[in-house]
Structure 1
Amino acid sequence: MFKWLKKKAAPRIEEFDMVAPIKGQVVSLEEVPDPAFSTKAMGEGIAIHPSEGRVTAPFTGKVAHVMEKSKHALIIEHECGVQVLIHVGINTVSLKGQGFNPHVQTGDNVKAGQLLMEFDLNAIQQDGLPVITPVIVPDGQEMISHVEILEGSSASPDAPVLRVYLKA
């Protein structure tokens, strides 16, 4: 009788593509000058040498976490529950938020392509820090079967860089 009250479950997906959250040059994680990323100890993914200081949502989802004090990294969650870490630069936590301007907060719903953060490339480089930005699917997410790195050396908001496969 009250079937309209029942909430429909989200359609089950088997995989999804993630576009580059930053414009620039895509490189392997092995090129990141930080062993936590380069050895893939934290998870699978790519790195981007940014050509501009803007981070956009790589898919429609929810902001799971923004590093409040340092503002240098955020985690976005796909509607299927998979989380992705975008970590701007290396050792940028030491800047204590200077040069970073988040446009979202933890808990915000976001659409693919939406501006998440702006950062000052020059300020990071002037402090002698690498601007290379790891984009990883952290290990330990049980719904993931595997992550495929899609070929291509140019990162743009319409170029898929990762494909995430989910367990059946």
Structure 2
Amino acid sequence: MKWFGKKTNNAVSVAAPISGKVVPLSEVPDEAFAQGLMGDGVAIEPSDGLVIAPFDGTVSHLIDTHHALIIEHSSGLQLLIHVGINTVALNGDGFKAHVKTGNSFKAGQTLLECDLDKIRSAGYPVVTPIIVANEDGAEKVESTYKTVKAGDPDTITVVMKT
């Protein structure tokens, strides 16, 4: 979603957590994500399988199959990073977690590694939704659709409700 409103003090800048092309959620081949039922955000069509921390924070929840995690910023913003679509069916095959639930992390730290070729060969899309998990705390989400490298600043801006 593009939003070109006034930046406020309650805006959280989110760096790109994975390299690739930023696309709207509507392009994700899963209705729950595409229709925004999981929350607002963007997706990245990844060019590599390294997922890094987009800000300093903590791991709220690492899914046991390591295909997704929810991370939290000090502002209270929670982001779901979900590598691929229906990849839970791989039961962790092709995924390696570098963090656990409750861990603190610094921006740029490796969170997950994924074997994109293995995911694709199993027949699953690798597009990676990045969703505001606590959307009731977010007022607006801003992003531009472009190619990014993991760690590129200001890939997503989330304005939190005051």
TM-score scaled to structure 1, two decimals? Answer: 0.87
The residue that corresponds to 2:84 in the other structure is 89
The residue that corresponds to 2:148 in the other structure is 155
User: Could you tell me how far 1:140 is from its partner in structure 2?
Assistant: 4.3
- Contact 1:54 1:119 survives alignment (8 Å): yes
The residue that corresponds to 2:6 in the other structure is none
Alignment RMSD, CA only? 1.2
2:15 paired with 1:19: yes
The residue that corresponds to 1:9 in the other structure is none
CA distance in 2, matches of 1:64, 1:110: 11
The residue that corresponds to 1:58 in the other structure is 54
CA distance in 1, matches of 2:86, 2:160: 32
Alignment size in residue pairs? 153
Matched ranges for 1:27-46 at <5 A: 27-46=23-42
2:95 paired with 1:100: yes
2:153 paired with 1:146: no
CA distance in 2, matches of 1:26, 1:152: 5
The residue that corresponds to 1:167 in the other structure is 161
Amino acid at match of 1:75: I
SS across alignment from 2:59: strand
SS across alignment from 2:124: coil
The residue that corresponds to 1:126 in the other structure is 121
CA distance in 2, matches of 1:146, 1:57: 21
CA distance in 2, matches of 1:144, 1:71: 26
Amino acid at match of 2:113: E
Task: Provide Cα deviations, 1:12-67, integer angstroms capped at 9, x if missing partner.
Answer: x5111101100011111011000010000111111111111100001110000100
Amino acid at match of 1:33: P
SS across alignment from 1:59: coil
2:131 paired with 1:114: no
Residue identity (%): 49
**Which runs of 5 or more residues in structure 2 are unaligned?**
1-8
**Which runs of 5 or more residues in structure 1 are unaligned?**
1-12
Amino acid at match of 1:64: S
CA distance in 2, matches of 1:117, 1:166: 26
- Contact 1:42 1:139 survives alignment (8 Å): no
Amino acid at match of 2:29: P
SS across alignment from 2:117: helix
SS across alignment from 1:81: coil
